[in-house]
A and B are shown apart, each in its own frame.
Chain A
């Protein structure tokens, strides 16, 4: 489009301003091209370049410079996804960012010469297409128009995969609620993520899901703005909503609306999360303005010691509202609470946590999420490479196969980790415990299938740690410990072995009862048991065949479960070691030979 003469001055300012922005970004973008993992400059570059391309898009729009606006808009969209945590900066995307900066650096001066952006058309189109291709969002037109009708299959698949990623991240954050609720930045990131989810649902006109995400986002935003939750465990309501979204998505077979089962209950539960002070309700009802509430609070505060009064009474005395209006608002407050409580009761009884199939799996049937199968592929590829020692072109194929297998394994491990986190969270709810669960060194297992062979024993040990190892909040406080118990899963490679341990800071095993059990089962005599170290005694516990009749560590059937763990590990030519200290906790380590 040719720029009209009366806009030449504006054009000149625009070019100078944009070139200055590009110049400021260039050294950092170059540094990223050389080292794409420069975490120290990534946020700064993302933020600066987002505003740069946003401005070019905005001002370019006024000057009708479409060829300049299109790549700027695409890059702005990409950078917004990156700063919202939806997408990561890959080397490919860094190259495209550098290319976009170069495009602006060379294209902007041409505008001053030609007073038009027509000469940029071909390169603008190619660059825009490359950016969208890299984002896998589909054709630019389908996004620009916000229309779901174009290229439905690709868009649909991309949508489901991206949605699943967003849901998984949101789920992980809610699982860690106790630790992120005080982290303002992380909460803001979570809000942005939910906002993105909502936008995705809006794009595909999935109205129920959009409403549910809006309610989730609103509750978090209100919390961020200083309001309070009126329940101790808001994350349970959030997680249930995330499960409901997942569950609804599994019914998608083609683009079209899907219904969320029990939507009204979920919405009522979310809306009922926030404490709604009478002042807020009066303002929302349009009966008073915020200044009146502030004044009334001042009056209430000034006479707190002499004649304590409720806020409603103060407002009535001030003549701002009538007793009937206060009564009406109190009833509304009460009925909100009652509706939320009713929804909570219904949802608690019908919603089953855990085990929700991923929406992506509904479409990607060819991609198994069974980690054991993926692990088997990795193993077979490795064995083939050893057997045939391929050369030339075959070596290239084997190398790519290994990379693909590794990548699949990586994704399977990530999914396994998040599943474990959710499991521990739900166990904590089930057994009324507070648990801070940490996974360390899981990447150690990237090249193996051990983690999947160890899955059953690990799940058992985690359950055991939450159920028996860690104390309830009240018990921990009485013992002078932190409210939240810590449960740690650590994986590490030690020589030719893989060591995976589950450690808790709970009550430890009751060694006296283990000693009695060992004597009762004739594993050792009473004189011998006195000479055993705690470690030796713990090993005996694994050898015992019957249960101990108490409910501390060493609960009914508990050692039977541990015996199963031991048997499974022995099948893998491994061994189990246990270290336990009263009131300090327990560490159980599975040591198995590395498999290649």
Chain B
């Protein structure tokens, strides 16, 4: 069954780019929801039926790491998988994200082929 995706990034242009890359990658997904920061993402997760989250790390208000931490404290949504999409490549920050439950990471900028390769197994 096609999965519903939530894109979390403070840049609406970046959300469009990621959304387009998902389409170009030929992945089977359902609805695409969008959020501008971690707080909006939490609200969206509690409201909509979302199967996977693709989230940036550096965002105002609530960043990707804080989002993961807060999500982990909410039983209703804590098991929804999160994939990090960021310009951050440091092992420490990605390591921290993974220790908080992120299932993987993709470095910006990326090509549709890369999206297929990395995200394919989860879709």
Contact = CB atoms under 8 A, between A and B. Distances in A.
Contacts of B108: 58, 61-62
Best-surrounded residue of A14, A48, A198, A221 (most CB of chain B within 10 A): A14
Interface stretch (A49-57, A95-103, A242-250, A494-502): A49-57
A564 interface: no
A394 B84 CA distance: 61
Contacts of A391: none
Contact of B87 (A14, A58, A221, A225): A58
A145 to B, nearest CB: 13
Nearest to B96: A221
Contacts of A47: 60
Contacts of B11: 17, 55, 58-59
Given A51-B58, A62-B109, A57 B87 contact: yes
B14 interface: yes
A55 B92 contact: no
B23 to A, nearest CB: 12
A57 B13 CA distance: 12
A57 B69 CA distance: 26
Contact of B13 (A14, A50, A195, A225): A14
A57 B14 CA distance: 11
A48 to B, nearest CB: 8
A551 interface: no
A232 interface: no
Interface residues of B, number: 19
B60 A17 contact: no
A54 B11 CA distance: 10
Interface in A189-228: 195, 198-199, 214, 217, 221, 225
A59 B87 contact: no
Interface in B11-37: 11-14, 16-17, 20
Interface residues of A, number: 23
Nearest to B20: A10
Contacts of B44: none
Interface string B84-114: 0001001010001000000000001100000
Contacts of B16: 10, 13
Contacts of B13: 10, 13-14, 17, 55, 59
Interface string A38-76: 000000000110110011011101101000000000000
A190 to B, nearest CB: 16
Best-surrounded residue of A17, A51, A54, A58 (most CB of chain B within 10 A): A58
A199 B93 CA distance: 11
A221 B99 CA distance: 12
B59 interface: yes
B59 to A, nearest CB: 7
Contacts of B92: 195, 198, 214, 217
Nearest to B91: A202
Nearest to A291: B75
Contacts of B56: 58
Given A10-B17, A62-B109, A51 B10 contact: yes
Nearest to B12: A17
A55 B16 CA distance: 13
Chain A at the B interface: mostly helix, strand, loop or mixed? Answer: helix
B54 to A, nearest CB: 14
A13 B12 contact: yes
A17 B58 CA distance: 17
Best-surrounded residue of B10, B13, B17, B96 (most CB of chain A within 10 A): B13
B75 to A, nearest CB: 9
A108 to B, nearest CB: 12
B58 A59 contact: no
A35 to B, nearest CB: 24
B83 to A, nearest CB: 16
A50 B58 CA distance: 9
A281 to B, nearest CB: 16
B101 to A, nearest CB: 10
Contacts of A58: 11, 14, 56, 87, 108-109
Contact of B14 (A59, A199, A221): A59
Nearest to B108: A58
A80 to B, nearest CB: 9
B109 A61 contact: yes
Contacts of B12: 13, 17
A289 to B, nearest CB: 11
A61 B89 CA distance: 15
Interface string A1-41: 00000000010011001000000000000000000000000
B93 to A, nearest CB: 9
B90 A55 contact: no
A41 to B, nearest CB: 16
Contact of A55 (B14, B96, B109): B14
A83 to B, nearest CB: 11
Nearest to A51: B60
A214 B90 CA distance: 13
Nearest to A15: B13
A62 B17 contact: yes
A316 B8 CA distance: 42
A59 B60 contact: no
A55 B17 contact: no
Best-surrounded residue of A57, A59, A198, A221 (most CB of chain B within 10 A): A59
Given A62-B109, A198-B92, A55 B60 contact: no
A48 B61 CA distance: 10
A347 to B, nearest CB: 25
A17 B12 CA distance: 8
Contact of A51 (B20, B59, B96): B59
A55 B11 CA distance: 6
16 contacts: A10-B13, A17-B11, A51-B10, A54-B58, A58-B11, A58-B56, A58-B87, A58-B109, A59-B11, A59-B13, A59-B14, A62-B14, A195-B92, A198-B92, A199-B90, A221-B96
Given A10-B16, A58-B11, 17 more contacts: A10-B13, A13-B16, A17-B13, A48-B60, A51-B10, A54-B58, A55-B14, A57-B87, A58-B14, A58-B56, A58-B109, A61-B109, A62-B14, A62-B109, A217-B92, A221-B96, A225-B69
Q: Top 4 A-B pairs ranked by shortest CB distance?
A: A61-B109, A55-B11, A62-B109, A13-B13
